[in-house]
Chain A
Amino acid sequence: MSDAVQLPSTILRIPRLGSARSLMNALIGIAALLGVWWFGGFIVENDPDLYAFADFAPAPTLERLWEMIVSGEVLTMSGPSLERVGLGLLFAAAFGVPVGILIGRAPRIHEVTNVPFQFLRMISPLSWMPIAVMAFDTWDGAIVFLIAMAAVWPILFSTAAGVRRIDPAWLKVARNLGARPLHLLGTVILPAIAVDVMQGIRLALGVAWVVLVPAEYLGVTSGLGFAINDARDTLDYSRLAATVVVIGVIGFALDAAIGQLVKKFNWVRATAH
């Protein structure tokens, strides 16, 4: 608690306006990112060897981005990607949540499945690519499979951890009050783990969104990954950079939306005891 530590923080702090301060800090962060981007563009522009890539700079990119938004191109290219990610997450949750509950409830199943699942989890989802291509008739099917393979582990493990944290007394109380197994599931287990499931889905979305772009380099002719690949092949660098921005913004927005859901499902209140 020395003055040396306290002084800078008192200078930076805008008193009694917590949200205004955090907004301000967020804006500072965004400005810094733009600054670094602009500086990179500035160097590229002034280097004769790199001049061809000058369209990566903020000004041409943002100009192009605006055109793409107005023309509806942003929607056309992100629509299929969102659909693939959504489907992948859906399959991942459809498998991960029930299996996670089983693993969390039955120590035996946990012991049997732990090594295989940890092993599979450590395999980069993209290494399934050749198998996915062989196993699925359509490129879309293969991409959804890859996303699901990436997304299933965080959902499964987070669900199982949530179930293991359930207070055994809740189950005892519920059984004593006449709860049948379906009651236990619907009234105790699912509400208790809703936060953990949402947190798992949030992590899964992060991984799925990362896997999406390389997965869409596969055969398909739509989606954000395809757009990146296509722009590179046609040397359309402002379009490439604008697509990168779109990927970042959508990913950020989805994460923030699920973050809100996590908050909504979180039943823990601040209490004094």
Chain B
Amino acid sequence: MAMTLTLSDSAAQGTQDAPRRRPAPVGAHVAIKGLSHAYRRHDGKVLDGIDFEIKAGEVVALLGRSGCGKSTLLHMLSGLTHPSEGEVVINGNTIREPSPKWVMMFQAPSLFPWMTVAQNAALGLKFTRRNDQIAKRIPEILDLVDLGAFADRNAQELSGGQQQRVALARSLAPKPEMLLLDEPFSALDAFTRRNLQRDVRQIARDLGLTLVLVTHDVGEAVRMADRVIVLKANPGRVFEDTVITLSEEERSGGSDEFQAEHSRLMNIYSQAADAPGEATETTNDFTQI
């Protein structure tokens, strides 16, 4: 835990002393156009008419209750699944297959148990024939997630939180333009989860990555996201698209501003969850604060 604090403490100091200069975003710009999806073994549409854009370097949370299609939408963004209708356009190109430029992270770290931490982290570079970069990049990236000392350990010998950080390093090593997180912290204890939420947001901002995060934890959305897209279920549609206007310090929780944002979002979330199954078009009232 001490190690996690070191990383984030230095980051927090940066924001206090001087306004942190954000690098020109290398992140992906995403446009989701008329996207609908139906699964073969599932009645009706899981997603229906999803349309929104994500700016390069933006941190976006997809919030909604279980089964509303968040994971499905994220899979479409990663190119691992294809939508039945509509398209996902990243940096001007319709995506048709997965790419190490937009990497997905799941609830389970899914490390390869026969490999060391460093070997796991190096996989993306290996698969994309960038073996020559491994020696330099992997120690760097393991330091970034505070696991430098664990490079040669077997992946199974790490705690759950450490494993999730290896998964983060593995996703970051091939220098992606976008990180897609599907409830990656939900299996962790509250303390580790808070630290990782802070660290991941910080890392994404420092690197200028686009970050899309799926969650049904309102607090997580408020802590991490610049913008929250609340989905409603049956079929999955955008219920509300709202901006979180909190400074980095306010995001750590406790402040009145945090509480206010939390209640506001919780309110929208409940409305979305209670929205009738076959919704009418009236659900798209954008209230941006």
Mark A residues whose CB is within 8 Å of B. 167, 169-170, 172-180, 183, 187-188, 191-192, 267-269, 271, 273
CB distance from B215 to the nearest CB of A (A): 19
Pair B100/A176 contact, Cβ less than 8 Å? yes
Return chain A residues, CB-CB under 8 Å to B159: 273
Pair B127/A269 contact, Cβ less than 8 Å? no
A269 and B156 in contact (CB under 8 A), knowing A174-B123, A174-B127? yes
Mark B residues whose CB is within 8 Å of A. 78, 80, 98-100, 103-104, 106, 108, 110, 112-114, 123-124, 126-128, 154, 156-157, 159-160, 170, 174
Pair B114/A175 contact, Cβ less than 8 Å? no
CB distance from B241 to the nearest CB of A (A): 27
Return chain B residues, CB-CB under 8 Å to A173: 104, 106, 110, 170
Return chain B residues, CB-CB under 8 Å to A174: 123, 127
Return chain A residues, CB-CB under 8 Å to B114: 191-192, 267
Query: Looking at the complex, which one of B98, B110, B127 makes contact with A170 (CB distance below 8 Å)?
Result: B110
Return chain A residues, CB-CB under 8 Å to B99: 178
Most chain-A CB neighbours within 10 Å: which of B78, B103, B123?
A: B123
Query: Looking at the complex, which one of B78, B108, B123, B124 makes contact with A169 (CB distance below 8 Å)?
Result: B108
22 A-B pairs whose Cβ atoms sit less than 8 Å apart in the complex: A167-B110, A169-B108, A170-B110, A175-B98, A176-B78, A176-B80, A176-B98, A177-B103, A177-B127, A177-B170, A177-B174, A178-B127, A178-B128, A179-B123, A179-B127, A180-B127, A183-B127, A188-B112, A192-B114, A267-B114, A269-B154, A269-B156
Residue of B nearest to A269 (CB): B156
Return chain A residues, CB-CB under 8 Å to B98: 175-176, 178
Return chain A residues, CB-CB under 8 Å to B127: 174, 177-180, 183, 187
A178 to B100 CA separation, bound complex (whole angstroms): 5
A48 to B221 CA separation, bound complex (whole angstroms): 93
A133 to B108 CA separation, bound complex (whole angstroms): 55
A192 to B128 CA separation, bound complex (whole angstroms): 21
A179 to B126 CA separation, bound complex (whole angstroms): 9
Query: Looking at the complex, which one of B108, B123, B154, B156 makes contact with A177 (CB distance below 8 Å)?
Result: B123
Pair B100/A177 contact, Cβ less than 8 Å? yes
Given contacts A174-B127, A177-B100, 15 further A-B contacts (CB under 8 A): A170-B112, A173-B110, A173-B170, A175-B80, A177-B103, A177-B123, A177-B127, A178-B98, A183-B126, A187-B123, A267-B113, A267-B156, A268-B113, A269-B154, A273-B159
A269 and B100 in contact (CB under 8 A), knowing A174-B123, A178-B124? no
Pair B108/A269 contact, Cβ less than 8 Å? no
A170 to B104 CA separation, bound complex (whole angstroms): 12
Query: Looking at the complex, which one of A169, A175, A191, A192 makes contact with B106 (CB distance below 8 Å)?
Result: A169
A192 to B159 CA separation, bound complex (whole angstroms): 21
A188 to B170 CA separation, bound complex (whole angstroms): 15
A170 to B123 CA separation, bound complex (whole angstroms): 12
Return chain B residues, CB-CB under 8 Å to A180: 127
A179 to B99 CA separation, bound complex (whole angstroms): 9
A175 to B103 CA separation, bound complex (whole angstroms): 10
Return chain A residues, CB-CB under 8 Å to B154: 269
Pair A191/B112 contact, Cβ less than 8 Å? yes
Return chain A residues, CB-CB under 8 Å to B103: 176-177
A177 and B124 in contact (CB under 8 A), knowing A169-B108, A191-B112, A191-B114? yes
Residue of A nearest to B108 (CB): A169
CB distance from A185 to the nearest CB of B (A): 12
CB distance from B97 to the nearest CB of A (A): 9
Return chain B residues, CB-CB under 8 Å to A269: 113, 154, 156-157
Return chain A residues, CB-CB under 8 Å to B100: 176-178
Residue of A nearest to B110 (CB): A169
A172 to B171 CA separation, bound complex (whole angstroms): 13
Return chain B residues, CB-CB under 8 Å to A176: 78, 80, 98, 100, 103-104
A-B residue pairs, 8 tightest by C-beta:
A267-B114, A169-B110, A177-B124, A178-B127, A178-B100, A269-B156, A178-B128, A179-B127
A161 to B35 CA separation, bound complex (whole angstroms): 38
CB distance from A111 to the nearest CB of B (A): 18
A268 to B174 CA separation, bound complex (whole angstroms): 27
CB distance from B202 to the nearest CB of A (A): 23
Most chain-A CB neighbours within 10 Å: which of B78, B108, B114?
A: B114
Residue of A nearest to B159 (CB): A273
CB distance from B110 to the nearest CB of A (A): 4
A68 to B106 CA separation, bound complex (whole angstroms): 63
A44 to B156 CA separation, bound complex (whole angstroms): 58
A268 to B112 CA separation, bound complex (whole angstroms): 11
Return chain A residues, CB-CB under 8 Å to B123: 174, 177, 179, 187
Residue of A nearest to B124 (CB): A177
CB distance from A173 to the nearest CB of B (A): 5
CB distance from A98 to the nearest CB of B (A): 21
Return chain B residues, CB-CB under 8 Å to A177: 100, 103, 123-124, 127-128, 170, 174
Return chain A residues, CB-CB under 8 Å to B80: 172, 175-176
Most chain-B CB neighbours within 10 Å: which of A167, A169, A175, A271?
A: A175
A129 to B103 CA separation, bound complex (whole angstroms): 56
